[in-house]
Amino acid sequence: MAVTSSFALIYKDVVSRLTSMATLVKFIDEDNGQLEIDKSELRPAVIFPAALLEFGAFTYEEASNGLQEATGTIQVRIPFAPYSSTSGKTPSAYLDKALGNYEVEKQVADCLHGWAPTGCSKLIRVTAVKENREIDTLRVRVLTFSISFKETVGQNVYQLTARPDPTIGTDVLLPV
């Protein structure tokens, strides 16, 4: 089956871009709840650091006959395995390794911010936050990018179309 959905095409473009340019990221996937594990599991089924992608809420406005403008967000969750302390007493070599998480986040942001997937606006980073987690000791940074694109909808929907009224001319002779 050929992929024609706007979301699927954008997803493939973003994965391709991250794979080729965000070399510090070791695992890229759709966010399917891989990080939401219960305490009986040892660790999530990802390789750290990862980039988990999810489309946020999108709004649509009618642009013209069957064409809509979509505006929304793409969220990139970047989980890291717990490493070490970042306290002021941490030796420099260990501190640099622990702070390497920010380098991964920067690489993802540099890779996506200002770049436009095929047929879309440029991705613009709008937020970067730490995810609050109470279930484990993972550190998760969440980058959110805005995006917009135009999409044709309703092409395969049959619609009734009024036919023109038939015209009866006066030049037709009817047998008597």
Which residue(s) pair with 54 in the sheet? Answer: 75
- Please give the residue range of the domain that contains residue 68: 22-151
Q: Give me the number of domains the chain comprises.
A: 1
pLDDT of 1: 87
- Residue 48 lies inside a defined structural domain of this protein: yes
- Residue 5 lies inside a defined structural domain of this protein: no
Helices (H), the chain: 6-21, 92-98, 100-112
- What is residue 9's three-state secondary structure? helix
- Residue 61 lies inside a defined structural domain of this protein: yes
- Residue 167 lies inside a defined structural domain of this protein: no
Q: Which of 108, 89, 123 is nearest to 28 (CA)?
A: 108
pLDDT of 150: 94
Residues of the chain under the 70 pLDDT cut: 38-43, 155-176
As a whole-number percent, the residues of the chain with pLDDT over 90 amount to: 59
- Residue 99 lies inside a defined structural domain of this protein: yes
pLDDT of 39: 63
- Residue 175 lies inside a defined structural domain of this protein: no
- Give residue 118's identity as a one-letter amino acid code: T
Query: What pTM does this model have?
Result: 0.83
Joined together, the tokens standing for residue 68 give 């809509």
pLDDT of 50: 97
- Residue 165 lies inside a defined structural domain of this protein: no
> CATH number of the domain that 136 lies in?
3.30.2000.10
